[in-house]
Every structure is written in C-alpha cells, then in structure tokens.
Amino acid sequence: MVDQPSPIFLGVIGAATGGPSVLSDADCILLVGAEIDYRIGYLQSPAIRADARIFRIGGGWQDLAAECRGSREQNSSARQSWLASCVERRGQFLRAVESHAEEQARRGLHAIHIIRAIRDVLSENPVLLIDGGSIGQWAHQLLCRDRYPGDWLTCGRSGVVGWGIGGAMAARLAFPQRPIILLSGDGAFTFNIADLECAVRQSLPFVAIVADDQGWGITRLGHVRQFGFPVASSLGPIAFDSLTESLGARGVRASTPEDIARELRQAIGKAEVSVIHVPISGGNP
C-alpha cells in the first residue's frame, strides 16, 4: 500500500475516480489482491491492450519475479520514458481538476476546502473513511493524488454509500489509539444517521465531516446531462449540527474554510463523537 507520498503513484483506478488513461497503455499488469471487475474493464479491450501480460498474486511468485526482472532489464529505457509520460499526464489531469474546483469555489464553500483541511491533519496519521458519491470523487482525485494507505477505507467495488457511520465505529474498535475521520456526503450520511446515538452510547468516538450540497450530486448531474433537469435527486436542508446534538454527539457548523480546518483539528483531539456540518456549493469533478 502507498502509505507515504510517492512521486510515481498515479491515483486510484476505478470508474468513478477519473484520471488519465494509463491502464490501457500497460503491456504488463500485476494484480495484487485486486478483483477482476468493472473498475479495470473486466480486463477486456479497450480497457487493456490485447497483447498485455496479466499476472495475479498466488502461486509461481518466484517465476513471476524473474520474468519481471528480465522485462525490466530489456526495456529499461522505454519503461522510464513511459513512466515519465504517465506522471506528466497525471499532473496535467490534477491541474485541470484543481482549476475546475477553484472555479466552482468562487460560489462559496466547496469540497476542495474540505479536502485541504483533511490534508493538513494527515501528519496525525488518521484512519480515513470515504463514504459518499460526489465528495468521494473529489477525495479520490485530490486527496489520494500521491498516496493511498491500506487504512483509508471506501465502499470498494460495491460502489454503495451509507456505510460510513458503522464503518467509523468499527474503525474505532480496530484502531483505538488513532484519530478516525469519516468524510461523507449529505445523502450518504442520512442513510444511518441515527447510529450516531449508538456510537455515543458505546463510547466509540470519531469525527465526521458532512459535505452538504443538498442533493444526490452524481445522480443530479447525470439527470441534468441526460434530461436537462434533475429528477427527485435534490434534497432539502438539514441542520446536521443540531440533529447531531439531539442524538447525544457534538455538532458544529463550518461557514468558512478556516472554520473547517479549526474544527477538524479540535475534533480529532477529543474523545467524543463529533460532526462538522459543511454546506457546500454543488458540482462534481
């Protein structure tokens, strides 16, 4: 797992994460615990080259290692050139995403402000859970740009949302000494928001940041693109801070980027369940 920043990490492969096309260029693909599913095009063309060699970790590791060493020695110059091209494409893509976010952020609080606040506390070595569609895409593209530790948890191949609160409670049990941060969208968070009371009652503290754009962001954007208007995908306003307080946890509302950073840093140092409600302008990567 990429648990430290890496200059050659190219991001997370998956249908919803975006990024430059690199998988389809590869002549050798090594799957380490990865499933053959939609995220890698089921290893079918055009997701991969017809002549690509594919290996899965299992038996024959020594033979695989020897073959990879031989390939590296034979094509060292070509591989270095290809890697440099991939890194440059990744950089171009990230700059485009950040420019898009900055443009959207002119309307007010935005997902990029949340991502920056989380990035500022990564030195605290938190367990990070990402639950949510649109905010999850922003996180994968901007926060997971140069690292992806094995304890940054998502819904994985299922693509479902709404598991975050239960996941944060489980993460607290698994990592009792580390900060637990749940990043969620308003749609995902309301699946099981009453479980905040369970977390409080069972003394399973964590901090949740709720990015609230009052809608099912990915679905809403898809409707607008296909039909010209959203269909039952806009949500009403919810005072997540007050609702959190009613369930026995600590709830706060952030109105500025500075609020987000300050409240997050304070919350990860407290042994209580905290929810930071961040109303943001809509928009996907």
Query: Which of helix, strand or coil describes residue 208?
Result: strand
* Among 194, 196, 191, residue whose Cα is nearest residue 208: 196
Q: Could you give the percent of the chain with pLDDT greater than 90?
A: 58
Q: Where are the domains of the chain?
A: 108-279
131 pLDDT above the threshold of 90? yes
Residue-level length of the chain? 285
**pLDDT higher than 90, residue 258:** yes
| Longest distance between any two alpha carbons in the chain, whole Å | 65
Q: How far apart are CA 44 and CA 62, in angstroms?
A: 27
Note the pLDDT of residue 69: 59
pLDDT of residue 60: 47
Other CB atoms within 10 Å distance of the CB of residue 259: 17
Least confident of 44-58, 107-121, 247-261: 44-58
Q: Looking at domain 108-279, does it have CATH number 3.40.50.300?
A: no
Among 65-74, 170-179, 215-224, which stretch is predicted with the lowest mean pLDDT?
Answer: 65-74
Helix H or strand E encompassing 167? helix 164-174
The one-letter amino acid code at 244 reads T
pLDDT digits (tens, 9 = 90+) for 83-94: 899 899 888 888
**161-207 pLDDT tens trace:** 999 999 999 999 999 999 999 999 999 999 999 999 999 999 999 99
Of the given ranges (107-121, 144-158, 172-186, 192-206), which has the lowest mean pLDDT? 144-158
pLDDT of residue 22: 83
Identify which of 89, 81, 104, 73 has the alpha carbon closest to the alpha carbon of residue 23.
Answer: 89
Calpha distance 192→274 (Å, rounded): 15
Distance CA 148, CA 151 (A): 8
